[in-house]
Structure 1
Amino acid sequence: MITEIVTFKVPRTMPREAVLEAFEDSAAAWRAHPKLRRKAYLFDAEAGIAGGVYSWDSIADAKAAHGEDFLARVERVFGSRPTFQYFETPLIVENARDAG
């Protein structure tokens, strides 16, 4: 398994609510993606950076999901091109929390 970190600049003039709305607009497509194991959205308003942390079976799966359509969408919505980092993920610790 691999972890992919995708980051991109967000315009300083873009309100937090608009960033979160863009995230929500894309969430259904990511939930339906057959190769995606997990995605966490990232936002640092102070630094003007947003993105996501993705879990995939392979770098090939990650790159296939982040082709030209994805790049164009990020550029259209946020005005910047994303950068990508890939890491082998040999171990995950997942602490389940009881909601009750």
Structure 2
Amino acid sequence: MIIVFTTFTLPKPITREEARRIFLSTAPKYRGVQGLFSKHYVLSQDGATAGGVYLWNSRSEAEAMYTESWRSFVREKYGTDPTVTYFDSPVVVDNVAQQVLTDE
């Protein structure tokens, strides 16, 4: 499994309420995406940085998302360029599903 952190520094800080509205407007884009287990939208407490934490089945499925088209979408929506960082995630504890998942 792969964890991806995307972050972008906003041109001006936004409130939690503004972030919620924006995030809800883009959430449908991520439903049903091949290989994406979950996406968590994030906003720094000062409202200056936003992004997402994604759990993917594989790196190739993750890379299929972060295309130039996706980067353009982020630029248009938030007015800034995103940073994308990949991490291996060999074990995940899911307390909602009461499971421990591994990448085997």
Q: TM bucket by the smaller chain? A: 0.7 to 0.9
In structure 1, the partner of 2:75 is: 75
> What is the CA deviation profile of residues 64-98 of structure 1, one whole-angstrom value per residue up to 9, with x for unaligned ones?
1111221111111111111011111011112128x
State percent identity of aligned pairs. 33
1:8 partner amino acid: F
In structure 1, the partner of 2:101 is: none
Gap runs ≥5 in structure 1:
none
Are the aligned partners of 2:16 and 2:47 in contact in 1 as well (CA < 8 Å)? no
TM-score by length of 2: 0.82
Considering fraction of residues, name the structure with more strand.
Answer: 2
Deviation at 1:13, TM superposition (A): 5.0
1:49 partner amino acid: T
TM-score by length of 1: 0.84
3-state SS, counterpart of residue 33 of structure 1 = coil
**Cα distance in 1, alignment partners of residues 14 and 58 from structure 2:** 33
**Cα distance in 1, alignment partners of residues 44 and 85 from structure 2:** 18
3-state SS, counterpart of residue 72 of structure 2 = helix
Structure scoring higher RCO (CA < 8 A, sep ≥ 6) equals 1
1:5 partner amino acid: F
**Cα distance in 1, alignment partners of residues 47 and 16 from structure 2:** 12
> What is the CA deviation profile of residues 16-63 of structure 1, one whole-angstrom value per residue up to 9, with x for unaligned ones?
433222211111121121221111110014161110011112222111
In structure 1, the partner of 2:92 is: 92
The alignment of Structure 1 onto Structure 2 pairs a total of residues equal to 97
* Structure 1 residues 14 and 3, CA gap change in structure 2 (3 angstroms): same
3-state SS, counterpart of residue 24 of structure 1 = helix
In structure 1, the partner of 2:40 is: 40
* Structure 1 residues 51 and 13, CA gap change in structure 2 (3 angstroms): closer
Considering fraction of residues, name the structure with more helix.
Answer: 1
